[in-house]
Homo-oligomer: A and B are copies of this chain.
Amino acid sequence: MKQLLRVLTWRNMLVLSVAVNFSLILRILNGDGGNSRDRPAYVSTWPVVSTTGTGSSSLSSRSCNYSEIEEDDDIIINLKLGDPTVYERYWQEMGEVTTVVIHGWQSLSYFSDNNNNLCWFLEPELGKEIVRVHKLVGNAETQDHFIVVGTGSTQLYQAALYALSPHDDSGPINVVSAAPYYCSYPLITDCLKSGLYRWGGDAKAYKEEDPYIELVTSPNNPDGLLRHAVVNRNEGILIHDLAYYWPQYTPITTKANHDVMLFTVSKSTGHAGMRIGWALVKDRETARKMTEYIELNTIGVSKDSQLRAAKVLKVVSDSCGNEMAKSFFEHSYDAMSERWKLLKQAAENTKRFTVPYFTSQRCNFLGKVFESQPAFAYLKCEEGIVDCERFLRENKKILTKSGKYFGDEESYVRISMLDRDTNFNIFLHRISSSYNANVQVHVGCDDDLGRN
């Protein structure tokens, strides 16, 4: 038997070796510069995070010797965007509980069967589940708020600008946000050269006397810090982007209760491909005008994705009442917690970069004290590295978003903490080790566009 195993092992190694040679020859022939999406899965002998749905995220402790890692040296790790694929494994392990079946005769009408709702295209089931999950988590007040559904919170941001800007001849209103701000805000605001609104830059530097709209992203994208309005003048109109105000990212300390609050499934449950977001809006006329914008822009929002989002939110809420198993938020909290633990450890070991400091607070929902563990890590390169994005791209083959896109210095970069385990583990190894790439990395044309 032992002999047989030995023979098998040698035969296996031979097959493996031939396969590797063949693959290398093909790569050389194709002149492949490295595209992460075409690559085989990464295999590591190094301690890794593994995001599972039923148990906790697991951290193997076999070894802490960084040099033992086996990785594909050519692979480019793209952490520029906040693609929330970390949640895939959880939903796979949850099986069919969130499966939806949609028949061919559904969703023919533009309208939802929701006569009494100001937002005529909102599916009633989604409206119900939005209220339920907020009540359960305690992160936002839904009472006395209208719900406006959007094709992601990006569309709702534009709907809010349309609704809150003066439509008279007073000229475009300034839209400001404290730097570092979400990199897409300036691009979205100015892309059509609107006469209703224009990007006004860093809210901290805003000195004009005119009315303005201030965006308050809390927790903030890119740095994860909790935010309040900074201009604080009477004529100020506020939009609160609360996409990340969920217990896997930050302690839920108060029930947010603002005039316009934006949320999205992309960051709460991880379903970015659905393109579903929602706004909680106090003022009836603002909600009506936001609905009007979405009617003009896309004549409503996909009914299919609304039905799916309703189902997913229902499963999330149901999981919170299950005392036998971890809830969705507990699982996601654990996953983020382990990733941040490893990242902080790496930062401490290498001294080459620092991560933001977060104070500990008690989370009313999870019932424990913890520090924020945001969806993005806002790293600062140290040791005299001026252009952190370039350093990581050229030396580590890691694509990140430079601080300059967030109205900040180039020594900062934003890194997604929501990628699949494989990519996160390679990222962690590369920034911790002496790994040094020799190949010039090509950056695609989407560099100037800032997906959430």
Contacts and interface: CB of A to CB of B under 8 A. Distances in A.
Given A108-B87, A162-B192, A192-B195, A302 B275 contact: yes
A300 interface: yes
A187 interface: yes
Contacts of A111: 83
Interface in A190-228: 191-196
A105 interface: yes
Interface residues of A, number: 77
The number of times this chain is found in the oligomer is 2
A260 to B, nearest CB: 18
A97 interface: yes
A443 to B, nearest CB: 15
Contact of A35 (B94, B107, B115, B188): B115
Contact of A92 (B105, B152, B193): B105
Interface stretch (A43-51, A57-65, A290-298, A331-339): A290-298
Contact of A105 (B88, B162, B274, B275): B88
Contact of A304 (B196, B300, B304): B304
Nearest to A192: B194
A296 B84 CA distance: 18
A401 interface: no
A20 B302 CA distance: 39
Given A115-B37, A184-B296, A85 B104 contact: no
Contacts of A417: none
Given A102-B99, A102-B100, A162-B191, A108 B302 contact: no
A112 to B, nearest CB: 8
A283 B263 CA distance: 36
A300 B274 CA distance: 9
Given A105-B92, A302-B305, A449-B292, A297 B155 contact: yes
A35 B115 CA distance: 10
Interface string A80-104: 0101110110011011111111111
Interface of A: 35, 37-38, 81, 83-85, 87-88, 91-92, 94-111, 115, 120, 151-152, 154-155, 158, 162, 184, 187-188, 191-196, 266, 270-276, 288, 292-293, 295-305, 308, 311-312, 315, 445-446, 449, 451-452
